[in-house]
Amino acid sequence: MTSKTSMQMVGHNLNNDRNKNDFYPTPPEATIALLEKQKFKGNIWECACGDGAISKVLTDKGYNVYSSDLNDYGYGDTTIDFLSNHNIKYDNIITNPPFKLSLEFTLKALSCVNSKAVFLHKLTYLEGIKRYQNIFNLNKLEKVLIFILFLGPLVFFHELGHFLFARLFGVRVQVFSIGFGPKLFKFKNKHKNDPVANGELEEIDGGVRRPAELQIKGGNDKNKGSFLWAAVRFANKVFCVVNAVRNSKEYDYVVWIDGDTFSFRPIPMDFFEKLLPQDTMLTYLGRENPNLNDGGKYPECGFVGYNMRHTEIQNFVDDWEKLYVTDEVFKLLEWHDSYVFWHLSKLYRKEKGIQVNDIGYWKGVKGHHVFVNSELGLYMDHMKGKRKKVGSSGKNDLRQNPNAPADILAVDYWKKVPPSV
């Protein structure tokens, strides 16, 4: 019986631009570590050999290696297209294929290997829905070897930089850690291969189902995949906020600001103090419309303030987490963090009488870029969605809102942004 061994190598490219042909040579340490854990009998085909990074190590260790690559990087046979219709068989295949063709390489390798097939991929390769359906659901993995050669040290020193500069400027840091908490890990691991829990439509046996109410509500999104139901993806943010609130009890406020937000001028401390009144539990960018039957639209959660002195704040995050731990989140109309946050905050307002500070000033208008039209627009820009590629929001994002601060349009930053995005 063919033994199918998959090795995952965790790596990270700091540059968002992909190299031509997805060419990223494999460090020799990865292949050496593999050979310490796994032995191979017979010949080996390295079918995406590149510059010979893997093949050279294998050859040095005494293995009989045939190396090929469709692109010429100065090593191996360039006359063979591995994905073509050939009848070549080898005892073992060891390779680090181009990521954009990784599924095709894996399926082809499994069809022409006699013993072991080893693929060096990022750890996230195990999470793809299509790969689960086409590979892992049909072919049992013998082993998954995880070699943290780059990402572990990279993340450690990256976060260490934040930690040291925070300390340098007098910011107190309570916890310095890396990794997922057990509850988040359990939730993500449970639903990672369920298309519906990841925002897709295809249902699997034992998987979650979108609520029947979507046949009535949900608009155009009810018949297609959408972020609105990507519970697994947005659970990261929810559990991060929950953890921050639980571990910051000696502070007055915890403020969440999305990572695609930046400040274009210094923000005075009294600005935040005015945004975060002591008599409210939450401060957020609301988009509710009391004239709509469904109560309006979920808030923009790129900025949320949590009042740590409020008597219900710890109960609030406990209940928020419980929706995921118990899978109750899948009973809601939508499953992304903003909708779940909105659902729970409305519940607390109705049943416990808590007060919120809505700084959206956009009641009655749905789907607009509410962040930059609030006071936050005086100091910050939120590059949500397509704005990331442009590098800013556009003038068309700014609206003459009688409730919003009048001097936003007078800020120099907004005079220089593109007319539209």
107: tokens are: 């399926």
Domain ranges of the chain: 3-148, 180-416
pLDDT of the residue at 280: 94
| CA 137, 143, 148, 150 torsion-angle sign | negative
238: tokens are: 């929810």
pLDDT of the residue at 95: 92
Q: Do domains 3-148 and 180-416 have the same CATH topology?
A: no
- In CATH terms, the fold of domain 180-416 is Spore Coat Polysaccharide Biosynthesis Protein SpsA; Chain A (3.90.550)
Inter-residue contact 4 to 117 (CB < 8 Å): yes
Helix (H, G, I), strand (E, B) or coil at 391: coil
Give the predicted TM-score (pTM) of the model: 0.61
pLDDT of the residue at 7: 32
Strands 253-257 and 296-307: antiparallel
Give dist(CA 95, CA 54) in Å, integer.
Answer: 7
Mind listing the pLDDT tens digit of every residue in the chain (421 residues)? 233 333 333 333 333 444 556 667 888 888 888 888 888 999 999 999 999 999 999 999 999 999 999 888 899 998 888 888 778 889 999 999 887 788 888 888 888 889 888 988 766 666 666 666 777 666 666 655 555 555 556 666 667 777 776 666 666 666 666 666 788 889 998 998 999 999 888 889 999 998 776 655 544 455 566 788 899 999 999 999 999 999 888 888 999 999 889 899 998 888 888 888 889 999 999 876 554 444 467 888 999 999 999 999 999 999 999 999 999 999 998 999 999 999 999 999 999 999 999 888 654 444 468 888 888 989 999 998 889 888 899 888 887 555 655 577 788 899 899 988 7
Look up tokens 């359990």; give the residue: 186
| CA 241, 244, 249, 253 torsion-angle sign | negative
Inter-residue contact 83 to 106 (CB < 8 Å): no
pLDDT of the residue at 335: 93
pLDDT of the residue at 19: 52
Q: Give the list of residues 6+ apart from residue 84 with CB closer than 8 angstroms, or none.
A: none
> Which numeric CATH code is attached to 3-148?
3.40.50.150
pLDDT of the residue at 230: 92
